[in-house]
Amino acid sequence: MNDEPTQLFDRDLLRSRRLRARDSFAGADFLLRRAASDIAERLTATLRDFPLALDLGARSSVMTDELRGLDRIGTVITAAPDIRLLSEDITPAIVCDEELVPFAPQSLDLVISALSLHWVNDLPGTLVQVRRALKPDGLFIAAIPGGNTLTELRQSLLAADSELTGGAPPRVSPFADIRDLGALLQRAGFALPVVDLEPAAVRYDSMFALLRDLRAMGGTNALNGRDRKPMRRDILMRAAEIYAERFADSDGRIRATVEIIHLSGWAPHESQQKPLRPGSATARLADALGTTEIPAGEKPHGV
């Protein structure tokens, strides 16, 4: 039996597209800035000091700058899949693929990842590596695009392909389902896992403006199963028509759904809260509610 994870994404292609987009990314990093700000706000509410933190999967200094602006965080290591993605003034910085986290067990106090883990082929394996690299009671926080992200683009391209070719090649990367991520955190050994979703919508003049942003982000199709031929012009134009027909607001501008899933978990530690054993309660729920307890199998009076 082959236990190797499915290689859904072409990581080399993804890296080359990010490098090609490094000069344009600053003009299209609004989602990263929003995710970084949200992560920083969540850390502010955590009354803990984190002497050594890791910004995993960095595209720029956006997340690192947010972390360095927090009083409770000490040294921040910026880890990027290619050092050329970072400016020279970001130190300390290392080359680190998100699928191979090169840190000793129990060496980090905090690991952050902002909008990069959705490109990982083996997300469960990456989460296990992160948990092992954290010191006991260390914290992991990530932001990942959710399953309905770019659903309008996906539906429009699918409809155009089906109408003009009778096929449906994958043109938009899949995104994580919130129901799966909590289970993955638990499987990786994290304690007190928390997962929540923040929906948003970005509006554009046309589908072509959305595609320009995706190219500027280095976030276009990097699936191994993608169609290797350039998209036909008639398919592209028909998809834009379908997008405008189905997903335009009253002013004619189109909507692009974005879901950002925030997930967090702690490396286990004996000081953390643990669920009580069944039958160990010292107070009755009926007393707390000010009502009468009815034993199982009995009917309430008057029934």
Q: What is the pLDDT of residues 18-54, one digit of tens each?
A: 999 988 998 999 999 999 999 999 999 998 999 999 9
Lowest mean pLDDT among 10-19, 136-145, 207-216, 239-248: 10-19
CATH code that applies to domain 11-149+176-201+259-277: 3.40.50.150
- pLDDT over 70 at 73, yes or no: yes
Using only C-alpha atoms, the chain has a radius of gyration, in whole angstroms, of 23
Alpha-carbon dihedral sign for residues 274, 277, 278, 284 = negative
> What is the side-by-side order of every strand in the sheet holding 73-80?
93-95, 73-80, 50-56, 108-114, 134-145, 254-266, 191-204
Question: What's the mean pLDDT in 272-292?
Answer: 59
Distance, CA of 198 to chain centre: 11
For residue 186, pLDDT beyond 90: yes
State yes or no: pLDDT of 229 exceeds 90: no
The most distant pair of C-alpha atoms in the chain lies apart, rounded to whole Å, by 78
Please say if the pLDDT value at position 63 is more than 60: yes
Q: What is the dihedral of CA 248, 204, 209, 83, to 10 degrees?
A: -130
Helices (H), 45-203: 62-68, 123-133, 151-165, 178-187
Q: Give pTM, 2 decimals.
A: 0.85
Q: Are 66 and 112 in contact (CB under 8 A)?
A: no
**Mean pLDDT value across the chain:** 89
The one-character DSSP state at 130 is H
pLDDT given for residue 287 in this prediction: 63
Q: What pLDDT, in 10s, does the model give residues 1-15?
A: 456 667 889 999 999
Whether residue 303 has pLDDT greater than 60: no
By the 8 A CB rule, do 235 and 288 touch? no
Mean pLDDT of 257-263: 96
- The full set of domain ranges for the chain reads 11-149+176-201+259-277
